[in-house]
Structure 1
Amino acid sequence: MDAAQRGTEASLRTDPDFFRLLSTSYSRLLDKPLVPQHVPIEDAPRWLYESAPFGLLAHNTDADPVFVYGNLMAQKLFEYAWDELTTLPSRLSAEATDRDERQAFLEQVERDGFVAAYRGMRVTKSGKRFWIDNVVVWQLRNDAGAHCGQAALIPSTSG
């Protein structure tokens, strides 16, 4: 079982293998690092979870994908604690009226490997709607090329 498939069986908050999946998939597709180069590699998983100035989410490959990762910024944006977020079907991050558009976008990511500069409406746990702006969503692939899910880097939001 690879890091993305472990989901909530083991905490992926600072798991080095899951961090490697996130970061190598990102850098392979976008030709740039996920974490600033000044962050020592041994500290990178913790920095990404605790200190990153952007939200980062990842979901698995289930028929109805479930979030397996959400850094502290993503938890704050969506108003979910880790244990809530990592049992949430990712489709519920959008309201029902926005889910078809979201699904079409995710299919584009699957087809193209990644999409940058995405903008979409999302909803918090309390029902507050907000825009995610300039989002990069990419396919998570392990070293063997197996599809392990998708991840989203959310650099900004707007009301």
Structure 2
Amino acid sequence: MSSFSAELPGDLWRNWIIHSTALLNSYRDRTGRELIERGGDSKLDAERLLGAPFVVVSHGVEADPILNYGNRVALALWEMSAAELIRTPSRLTAEPMLREARERLLAQTTREGFVSGYEGVRISAKGRRFHISNATIWNITDGAGKPAGQAATFARWTFL
């Protein structure tokens, strides 16, 4: 068991592994590329994604979507624990005046399957602002092919 899995109850850690698989499969299905090198073991792939040197974050399909995944880099950037992350509405990752533009981007992603090259400003749980660049946002589907939310990945950001 990883040190991260110790932060999450057993059921939540199992769900995290299942969701990691959905993230990876959906990214591959939408973009034609792999997000990380995969080894075929879902637990090990979840650990690789968790430890990737770039941000991976996602939210669910609720009317006001709640964050449901953040790898270690995302948790550090947004300055929150996994337990805090999974209670946070994803709209709170953007400042109020930027939320409308964020909503338009998510609607575009819903229509097109994925969007690459996105740039924007986000805000951490502690109010620290940062500019992200060259982000890819994609639609997530679960193992049955049902919509499961949207995710984003990026490797470049600058604190403002």
Structure 2 segments unaligned to the other structure (5+ residues) = 1-8
Instruction: Report the CA distance between 1:143 and its aligned residue.
Output: 4.2
Secondary structure of 2:80's match?
coil
Deviation at 1:140, TM superposition (A): 0.4
TM score, norm. by length of structure 1: 0.87
Matched, 1:145 2:145: yes
* CA deviation profile, 1:68-127 (whole Å, cap 9, x unmatched): 111110000110111111100000000101100001100000010000110110001121
Which TM-score applies when normalising by structure 2?
Answer: 0.86
The answer to whether the 8 Å contact 2:70/2:85 transfers is: yes
After the TM superposition, which segments of 4 or more aligned residues of structure 1 sit over 6 Å from their partners? Answer: none
Q: Which residue of 2 aligns with 1:41?
A: 40
1:14-33 equivalent positions in 2, closer than 5 A = 15-33=16-34
CA drift of 1:36 comes to: 1.9
| Structure 2 letter corresponding to 1:47 | R
Shift of 1:14: 7.7
Letter in 1 for 2:26: S
> Do the aligned partners of 1:12 and 1:18 also contact (CA within 8 Å) in 2?
no
CA positional deviation for 1:12: 4.6
What is aligned with 2:124? 124
Instruction: Give the Å deviation of 1:145.
Output: 2.7
Contact 2:16/2:69, CA 8 A, preserved across alignment: no
Give aligned-pair identity as a percent. Answer: 34
Listed as ranges, the gaps of 5+ residues in structure 1 are 1-7
Secondary structure in structure 1 of the residue aligned to 2:12: coil
How many correspondences in the alignment? 149
Three-state SS of the structure 1 residue aligned to 2:52 is: coil
Closer, same or farther: CA 12–57 of 1 in aligned 2, 3 Å? farther
